[in-house]
Amino acid sequence: MKITLRLIIALILAVTAVALVFSYFTVQSEKARLTSELEHRAWLVSEGLKESVGPFILKGPSKKFDSIVEKISKGKQIIGVAVYDMTGKTVTVSKELSAALPSNLNILFEEFKSDEGRGAYEKIASKQAYLYAVPTHDDEGARTGTVVIFSDASYIDEYLLDIWRRNFLRILANVIIISIITLFVIRWSIVGPIARMSEWIGNLRSGKFDEAFKMPKEDLFTPISKEISSLAKSLAVAHARAEEEAMLRQHAEAVWTAERLKGHVRAKLGDKKLIVVSNREPFMHIRSGKIIECISPASGLVTALDPILKACGGLWVAHGSGNADRDVVDRHNIIRVPPENPQYDLKRVWLTQEEEEGYYYGFSNEGLWPLCHIAHTRPVFRMNDWARYQEVNLKFARALEDVIGNETYIFIQDYHFALLPRIIRERHPKAKIALFWHIPWPNPEAFGVCPWRREILHGMLGADIIGFHTQFHCNNFLETVDRNLECHTDWEHFSITKKEHTTYVKPFPISVDFTPSPINIEIKSKEELFKEIGVKGSILGIGVDRLDYTKGILERFMAIERFMEKYSEYRGLFTFVQIGAPSREHIKSYHEFAGKVKAEEDRINWKFQSGDWRPIVFLHRHFSHAEIEPYYRHADLCMVTSLHDGMNLVAKEFIVSREDEQGVLILSTFTGASRELRDALLINPYDIEQMAGMIRAAIEMEPEEQRLRMKRMREVVREKNIYKWASDIITEITQIHHE
């Protein structure tokens, strides 16, 4: 308040001072103008009169003389006229003046002395008057007397007073307007935002991070807004860590965190290095026009491994597939990532178009992918693709040559590199190698259709440890090896020994980072989300997938169609948003699949849509984590309906986002995640009726039951988080000993 008052007083003083100075000069110039007008008029009248009355003075009073004087005295602003003879005696006086005529007029005597016209201001009958005296002469030019014109000058003062009065009122009006405007401006632009800011900081201090703060737009706040944002971020991180630590103590060190993993890795690895190898890179540089953008691709593998590399540093070797990837690496093809806060090295391996075609699109994704996923899509095996697959595995082995030493641990990812463990083993017999297979492993019969099944198994067994998401996949693998290779399979220890090298096969259920995001990111509201997708609805369902035929997206849409048919009361209320990241689109089956999803969306919407509402919104583009987050947070239900899936991290990401312990997860029993998340509504994606019923059950589930289920699932994901997965694998890797 004090500052407001000070500001108002300062403004008023400044405005008043300026107004007074201007008024003063206006009054002065008006005064000069009016007096000069008055004096000029008096002079004009007297000049005319002196000619006509000059000769009459000597003759003494006469009627004619009186009538001339009387006529002149009726002029504008003239009080009267007096005529004197040479002795100073009054010859004649106009009637109205005669009573008020002063007996002694200084001006008269001055005029006598100078023989020229003279003017002066006098009070006549308590009124300000201007007196102008001129000498008169006879026809021969001899002096005869004096004529005095009495003009009214009082109107000048009145007029000037009026100017002052009007200016004073103007100043008063200015003062009132300035005060009101200043009060409003200060209230809206300064006091209001500061009050909101301090309330928000107060909340932050007491640990309420749920609300994203909107900084005032005014320029005034730009410098502090940046500072406050980063301060808030640090505070939120510190708070999250403290909470995590406290929780950790409560759970007797049961929960794994980034910090704890770091310590664990340091203790286990010492100064040895961890190298991760995968096909997909964690960060891709994409050129759009002149700008190079950095995106994180949609991949469960990336989601899981990025936090580990961030926690323990090291090196990630991957295919550089972004069209601007080459422009940003150093001469060793390395770049530090993540771009905003570099914490580990990414080494890019370049592939020719032919290699990518055969190794990635061909053998990996048209051969091994459908081979391992039981999703009724026939695998395609081409001799050429197999040749490229072998070449690229070799190429990666070569890229690793300058970074592998005896003291490195190599952690290979997925079905793109089934041959890599063996190639490395042959070159470095003492290398410590782990391979994690992120997709399911089928039964021996299904795997048996692959023409190069033995080479693949032999290649994989070059690793010391092979990990799958579930025990079921481990069992399938052991059986497959048993049926296809000459080796010793130990079912008790889950190991395979071939030519004196032993490989251990173990389940490591992968997960996500559970650390609550230090929420400074602006989270859109549910209403904003509906507005953004252009739908009027109130119940929100969400699905987030790469556009892949294994994800059961068409079955999901059919279930939504059935739900709308059976439970028509939800038409106009429930909308399902399907986020579908484009994936492997050069492959015919993927290309066609994207078309089918779009066509199904159109067909079902056409059937039920009305006004501004439609049941399905299919968003076919890449979404960043930050963009997906508000959908996860506001969804009433999330559907994961994979026909077959190694783990499925979308299910876990959804759970991590639900700090409010609300929302229902509908989950396929054919995902690895369904083994852990028993509180989801478990479904068979081939059973459309069951899925439709589960959508209804999810929507109608009481908040209390939602809370109970979500709480238990959150507990599972929190404990079995990505850091636990990493620590389990690292513990295993570091226990490897070669004689």
Are 378 and 366 contacting, i.e. CB atoms less than 8 angstroms apart?
A: no
644 touches ligand G6P by CB under 6 A: no
Binder of ligand G6P out of 133, 301, 667, 710 (CB under 6 A): 301
Q: How far is the CB of 580 from ligand G6P (least distance, A)?
A: 13
Q: Which of 455, 317, 477 is nearest to 387 (CA)?
A: 455
671 touches ligand G6P by CB under 6 A: no
Between residues 117 and 646, which has the closer beta carbon with respect to ligand G6P? 646
Length of the chain: 739
Q: How far is the CB of 552 from ligand G6P (least distance, A)?
A: 15
Q: What is the DSSP string of 672-716?
A: GGGGT-TTSEEE-TT-HHHHHHHHHHHHH--HHHHHHHHHHHHHH
Determine the interface stretch with ligand G6P among 104-112, 299-307, 419-427, 678-686 (rule: CB under 6 A).
299-307
Between residues 301 and 351, which has the closer beta carbon with respect to ligand G6P? 301
- 3-state SS assignment for residue 540: strand
Between residues 583 and 657, which has the closer beta carbon with respect to ligand G6P? 583
583 touches ligand G6P by CB under 6 A: yes
User: What ranges make up the beta strands (E) of 481-587?
Assistant: 488-490, 495-498, 501-507, 539-546, 574-581
300 touches ligand G6P by CB under 6 A: yes
Question: CA–CA separation, 212 vs 222, rounded Å?
Answer: 17
473 touches ligand G6P by CB under 6 A: no
Q: How far is the CB of 673 from ligand G6P (least distance, A)?
A: 13
Between residues 263 and 338, which has the closer beta carbon with respect to ligand G6P? 338
Amino acid at 170: R
Q: How far is the CB of 187 from ligand G6P (least distance, A)?
A: 54
Determine the interface stretch with ligand G6P among 75-83, 169-177, 298-306, 307-315 (rule: CB under 6 A).
298-306
Q: What is the DSSP string of 583-652?
A: --TTSHHHHHHHHHHHHHHHHHHHHH-BTTB-SEEEE-S---HHHHHHHHHH-SEEEE--SSBS--HHHH
Between residues 239 and 473, which has the closer beta carbon with respect to ligand G6P? 473
584 touches ligand G6P by CB under 6 A: yes
420 touches ligand G6P by CB under 6 A: no
438 touches ligand G6P by CB under 6 A: yes
Determine the interface stretch with ligand G6P among 4-12, 212-220, 293-301, 495-503 (rule: CB under 6 A).
293-301
Between residues 299 and 476, which has the closer beta carbon with respect to ligand G6P? 299
Binder of ligand G6P out of 111, 414, 555, 561 (CB under 6 A): 414
Helix, strand, coil share (%) of the chain residues, nearest 5: 50, 20, 30
Handedness of CA 533, 538, 544, 548 (dihedral sign): negative
Between residues 56 and 369, which has the closer beta carbon with respect to ligand G6P? 369
What 8-state DSSP symbol labels residue 415? G
Between residues 41 and 438, which has the closer beta carbon with respect to ligand G6P? 438
The b-or-e profile of 91-100 (16+ CB within 10 A means b, else e) is: bbbbeebeee
Q: How far is the CB of 359 from ligand G6P (least distance, A)?
A: 12
Q: How far is the CB of 509 from ligand G6P (least distance, A)?
A: 14
Determine the interface stretch with ligand G6P among 19-27, 297-305, 506-514, 515-523 (rule: CB under 6 A).
297-305
Residues ≥6 apart with Cβ < 8 Å to 139: 54, 55
Q: Which of 127, 97, 129, 81 is nearest to 119 (CA)?
A: 129
Binder of ligand G6P out of 46, 257, 299, 734 (CB under 6 A): 299
Between residues 300 and 314, which has the closer beta carbon with respect to ligand G6P? 300
- 3-state SS assignment for residue 324: coil
648 touches ligand G6P by CB under 6 A: no
Q: How far is the CB of 474 from ligand G6P (least distance, A)?
A: 17
Start-to-end CA distance of the chain, whole Å, equals 80
373 touches ligand G6P by CB under 6 A: no
Between residues 300 and 663, which has the closer beta carbon with respect to ligand G6P? 300
Between residues 102 and 582, which has the closer beta carbon with respect to ligand G6P? 582
Q: How far is the CB of 461 from ligand G6P (least distance, A)?
A: 20
Question: CA–CA separation, 460 vs 435, rounded Å?
Answer: 8
Structure tokens at 8: 């108002």
Q: Which of 488, 516, 514 is nearest to 500 (CA)?
A: 488
Determine the interface stretch with ligand G6P among 91-99, 176-184, 235-243, 294-302 (rule: CB under 6 A).
294-302
Question: CA–CA separation, 487 vs 499, rounded Å?
Answer: 8
Between residues 515 and 583, which has the closer beta carbon with respect to ligand G6P? 583
- Look-up of token digits 């994800």: 551
Binder of ligand G6P out of 439, 457, 460, 544 (CB under 6 A): 439
Side-chain-side CA neighbours of residue 613 (13 Å): 15
CA distances (Å), origin 581, targets 275, 296, 311, 548, 668: 28, 12, 27, 9, 20
Q: How far is the CB of 621 from ligand G6P (least distance, A)?
A: 14
Binder of ligand G6P out of 41, 239, 260, 280 (CB under 6 A): 280
- Look-up of token digits 């692959």: 450
Q: Mutual orientation of helices 553-566 and 588-608 as an angle, nearest 10°?
A: 10
Number of shown-chain residues binding ligand G6P (CB under 6 A):
10
Considering only residues 543 to 572 of the shown chain, the ones binding ligand G6P according to CB under 6 A are: 546
Residues lying near ligand G6P in the complex (CB under 6 A) are found at 280, 299-301, 414, 438-439, 546, 583-584
